[in-house]
Amino acid sequence: MSKKNNYVADENRYKKMNYRRTGNSGLLLPEISLGLWHNFGDVDDFKNSRNLLKCAFDNGITHFDLANNYGPSPGSAEKNFGKILKKDFKNYRDELVISSKAGYDMWEGPYGDFGSKKYLIASLNQSLKRMGLDYVDIFYHHRPDYDTPLEETMGTLDLMVKQGKALYVGLSNYLPEEAEKAFKILRNLGTPCLIHQPRYSLFDRWVENGLLDLLGNSGVGAICFSPLAQGMLTNKYIKGLPKDSRAAKDSPFLNRDKVMEMLPKITALNEIAKSRNQNLAQMAISWILKDDRITSVLIGASKTEQILDSIKAIENTKFTDDDLAKINKIANS
């Protein structure tokens, strides 16, 4: 006999979060969303994964962001999320925005990658099965595919909505000129692009070269990943390299040489954060949220304390001109 679901969400959860409209749509997203790229795979502690999701939802985070290949192993984050959804969130499905993506390598052979109709339809069907869902709220094409006609990829996103397998569609990692073409195709099909998911942080500002203007002018939302620059925009490295840190392990996404190169900037930015009564991570998130074209910031977390710490960033998203000038001088030096 299965155990009764004992999880009851905090009744004050919606008082703890701010919500922003996604572009010109009717959908509101929390200013902080939780990404499941890490810490939800086969290699991770399942109990901790459950606690992370409960903590997020108890504090008003309604949006959980996944992709077909999240894990490791690929697919395992969706599978574990599905288990947690069934155990703890069955009664809250209609209060959640669940997203998934396809576009990176997922299975062997010519049909498990990029942007063909064959791959995207198969991937979404697999994702729905792993998570035990009838539909996802948002389905993204994860990256551009220059060998598949854009009309095929966008037509497939449109088909997913018309089949009822996704409510909205989005793009991730598309450059401005690519995104603009995709937006036009989707509008003409009757399924406008809801949201774009780019990488954006104090140290990585490529979206300022046309993408944010395009999103604002097109009525498309923005949700930014890697707001802490793989952990550099935190207090973690100011006193050295912690043994369990990404940089100390020389991960593919961050190495010790990069941290040492950026350390003077990190230290200087931390002083500005302290003057704002924030820590560096909070200021880095607040700095992104200062722009009203941004809908949400996507965080990752391995501990509930990190979620709670990040949420405090929404309390102070106003910056003086002097603060911005100092931040830009440091970040761009």
Of 211, 205, 193, 180, nearest to 138 by C-alpha is: 193
CA distance 67 to 77: 8
pLDDT digits (tens, 9 = 90+) for 156-192: 999 999 999 999 999 999 999 999 999 999 999 999 9
The pLDDT > 70 percentage for the chain reads 95
pLDDT at 1: 39
Token pair for residue 247? Answer: 């940089």
Residue 2's pLDDT is what? Answer: 46
Mean pLDDT over each residue of the chain, to the nearest integer: 95
- pLDDT (0 to 100) of residue 5: 62
Share of the chain above pLDDT 90, in %: 90
- 102-123 pLDDT, tens digit per residue, is 999 999 999 999 999 999 999 9
The pLDDT confidence band at residue 257, using thresholds 50, 70 and 90, is: confident
Q: The pTM is what? A: 0.95
Q: How many angstroms separate the first and last alpha carbons of the chain? A: 62
Residue-wise pLDDT tens digits, 47-99: 999 999 999 999 999 999 999 999 999 999 999 999 999 999 999 999 999 99
Choosing among 3.40.1190.20, 3.90.226.10, 3.40.50.10330, 3.20.20.100, the CATH entry for 13-230+288-315 is: 3.20.20.100
Take residue 197 and report the two structure tokens written for it: 């998911």
Secondary structure of residue 118 in the 3-state scheme = helix
Place of tokens 């939780």: 34
